[in-house]
Structure 1
């Protein structure tokens, strides 16, 4: 049956009258218009449009993982949507170069008119951070104290409500934790893994002792670093040690989720682990792109303001640099490389294990 479709006009469909008429320059209100304020507004408006699209993709992914079962077909969709987010992040990172065509003096021509407006007040960006897993308790101290400052009551209520909902990090953690430990049918992967890592670490320690190019002071530092790595390995299979290191901030994933993710990465070339591995990789890429965005933003602010405070009252460049180092979400996926074994040291997966995991991953 043929439907009667209403003709659509390009400008009306995109509502260009609203978008292109949404640039109101503050500098014009006080005297001579600052030419570069138009660039400043448009760049930030484009950021907000991309934030909206990222949230659209991210919320769809969260909805999928907020179910009891996540099937292969759904994982394909999830990975596709996460890859789209990564491409958008790349555009946002590149967009900083456009902003950097503005000189510090061109920015100073209108900067004071913007006080106390600040990137702190980007509700969409805060929603993005919270939805990914950067809730208030994981933020740096300045953020914990000021996260909801300078927000309207309505926006504050929206974010506080979002904090109560499961983030993507929490949902992924739960999904990973549901995977059973590989100790079945006379096959004990973790027993083999512990033996292999003991060998690797013992060899590393011998290498340090036998390295004649190191001074005694350097050798002692290398040995302290080795011991720290040894402690982290030991904690993988010791509930109390793992809990202690989690309390110290070494780990964020639960012990069970960490072991499951580690197993997936160890056997990433197995067909049954292809999609889970792509998922972990995509989340790692998203965290990396977000960290790069923070870093480039911090560098841009330093170029524009030096050590001046930000328009919203933060310490400007210093604050942004600290968020780059501290406000990470999926950092466990980065650090997991510490625990990976060379392929030749991995035991072959028995057919019974492949069938078992194939059934399990197809059901959950």
Structure 2
């Protein structure tokens, strides 16, 4: 099985294989991984303009094909409820308390909220797989980056909606929840395999998990799906590889790391002089020591050994080249060639942040409902959820780039030969100037204001 084809340009290119030495710890090291053969445990299948559900069998007897027509020739007109299968969706709520003869009004809300979450998780996975497919391409130009950015923006907005949806669930009081909580054992949101898939495909690794036994709470079928997903390159892996191979870090004598080192040396010298001239002698020692420690963080940009030490101590995850490229994109994001990549990197941070906000809101809601009790699925409840808030961020390296920024006044200008290569508009010979002198309809271009 392969990732969904999202663009004809993407489908014509096969990405180079992952090299084990270049992958992050915990990532797939399958040397045959490429755009054409990267497996997906639950891929989205496309047929023409149709997308079939990745979790349903095409031959399932309860999934009839809807005939679409105008009513002539024996074709049944497509009906709204049939198209959305509302007979199945609206009859999928069966509160256990009602069946037990002790109906609890709020159990219906509890079920609908969680079913809605699962539907949105399905859409998030659908969108995320297309972003991964874009980044699986060998040549990722502006068109594909724009597509990936568009899909990531949708993912962010869905996550915002999921955060807002939490407020509806909070209209239920702890006492109302306790009325039916005993009926839920041992089922738990801890067993949401779609949420686990979402985390894995974003880039959460086994070693990032707070509870290593979480997978045992899933059904055998869902365990298989999740284990397969763990063997595939995640969005983080694709982003890291894309950044690692971005050009312009070194170009005709220009070296970004050396240029950056020169700039921060100047910046720190200015700060050192400020400390020596503006602070009292008693305060200078502590500030100079802090300045020295801060400099070591900046050194990781141009000293590979410092960067590798940060990886060993799990203070950084992204590779040396990828980190350097992401910083260059961020510092020079006003350059035409870097504008889309910079927005793409920021959107990755936004998605990570929204998912983390959801984790935090979920943790707070659980604490409000059950305090420090264990969850219905055997997890540690609020204590477990609280620990996942910061430990399972995926793109924290990108979020932390602000630590490494320098003031624009100290930012070294790019060499003119490099700036020319990074522009969308290049010089045009005189005989070809007509395309700029007349409008699309042959009219003279009018530069006046209305």
TM-score scaled by length of structure 1: 0.90
**What CA distance in whole angstroms lies between the structure 2 residues aligned with 1:101 and 1:267?**
47
Q: CA RMSD in A?
A: 2.2
Residue 69 of structure 1: how far off its partner (Å): 1.7
SS in 1 for 2:105: coil
Residue 208 of structure 1: how far off its partner (Å): 5.6
Name 2:386's counterpart in structure 1. Answer: 321
**What CA distance in whole angstroms lies between the structure 1 residues aligned with 2:376 and 2:221?**
22
Please, which of 133, 150, 167 is the counterpart of residue 63 of structure 1?
Answer: 133
**What CA distance in whole angstroms lies between the structure 1 residues aligned with 2:342 and 2:275?**
33
CA 1:323 to 1:196, structure 2 compared with 1: closer, same or farther past 3 Å?
same
Name 1:80's counterpart in structure 2. Answer: 150
Q: Is the 8 A contact 1:297 1:320 kept in 2?
A: yes
Please, which of 3, 20, 38 is the counterpart of residue 108 of structure 2?
Answer: 38
Name 2:256's counterpart in structure 1. Answer: 189
Please, which of 338, 342, 355 is the counterpart of residue 407 of structure 2?
Answer: 342
Which is bigger in relative contact order (C-alpha 8 A, separation at least 6)? 1
Name 2:345's counterpart in structure 1. Answer: 280
Name 2:54's counterpart in structure 1. Answer: none
Say whether 1:24 aligns with 2:91: no
Q: Is the 8 A contact 1:208 1:219 kept in 2?
A: no
CA 1:187 to 1:277, structure 2 compared with 1: closer, same or farther past 3 Å?
same
**What CA distance in whole angstroms lies between the structure 2 residues aligned with 1:341 and 1:175?**
24
Q: Is the 8 A contact 2:336 2:422 kept in 1?
A: no
Say whether 1:152 aligns with 2:219: yes
Q: Is the 8 A contact 1:86 1:289 kept in 2?
A: yes
1:137-195: per-residue Cα shift (whole Å, max 9, x none)? 2223x2xx212121111111111111000000000000000023533334343323112
Q: Identify which range, 273-282 or 192-201, moves more after superposition.
A: 192-201
Say whether 1:251 aligns with 2:316: yes
Q: Identify which range, 306-315 or 341-350, moves more after superposition.
A: 341-350
User: After the TM superposition, which residues 106-121 of structure 1 pair with which residues of structure 2 at under 5 Å, given as runs?
Assistant: 106-121=176-191
CA 1:245 to 1:20, structure 2 compared with 1: closer, same or farther past 3 Å?
same
1:290-312: per-residue Cα shift (whole Å, max 9, x none)? 11101111111111111111111
Residue 223 of structure 1: how far off its partner (Å): 5.6
CA 1:348 to 1:296, structure 2 compared with 1: closer, same or farther past 3 Å?
same
List gaps (5 residues or longer) in structure 2. 1-67, 425-450
**What CA distance in whole angstroms lies between the structure 2 residues aligned with 1:306 and 1:83?**
35
Q: Which has the higher helix share?
A: 1
SS in 1 for 2:262: helix
User: After the TM superposition, which residues 160-199 of structure 1 pair with which residues of structure 2 at under 5 Å, given as runs?
Assistant: 160-180=227-247, 182-199=249-266
**What CA distance in whole angstroms lies between the structure 1 residues aligned with 2:260 and 2:121?**
42
**What CA distance in whole angstroms lies between the structure 1 residues aligned with 2:217 and 2:274?**
55
Q: Is the 8 A contact 2:336 2:423 kept in 1?
A: no
Residue 358 of structure 1: how far off its partner (Å): 5.8
Q: Is the 8 A contact 2:263 2:410 kept in 1?
A: yes
1:110-159: per-residue Cα shift (whole Å, max 9, x none)? 1111111111211111110000000212223x2xx212121111111111
TM-score scaled by length of structure 2: 0.74
SS in 1 for 2:216: coil
Give the number of the structure whose alpha-carbon radius of gyration is greater.
2
Name 2:365's counterpart in structure 1. Answer: 300
**What CA distance in whole angstroms lies between the structure 2 residues aligned with 1:109 and 1:213?**
64
Please, which of 309, 315, 332 is the counterpart of residue 397 of structure 2?
Answer: 332
Q: Is the 8 A contact 2:244 2:322 kept in 1?
A: yes
Please, which of 173, 192, 199 is the counterpart of residue 129 of structure 1?
Answer: 199
CA 1:4 to 1:149, structure 2 compared with 1: closer, same or farther past 3 Å?
closer
List gaps (5 residues or longer) in structure 1. 360-364
**What CA distance in whole angstroms lies between the structure 2 residues aligned with 1:184 and 1:247?**
30
Name 1:54's counterpart in structure 2. Answer: 124
CA 1:37 to 1:223, structure 2 compared with 1: closer, same or farther past 3 Å?
farther
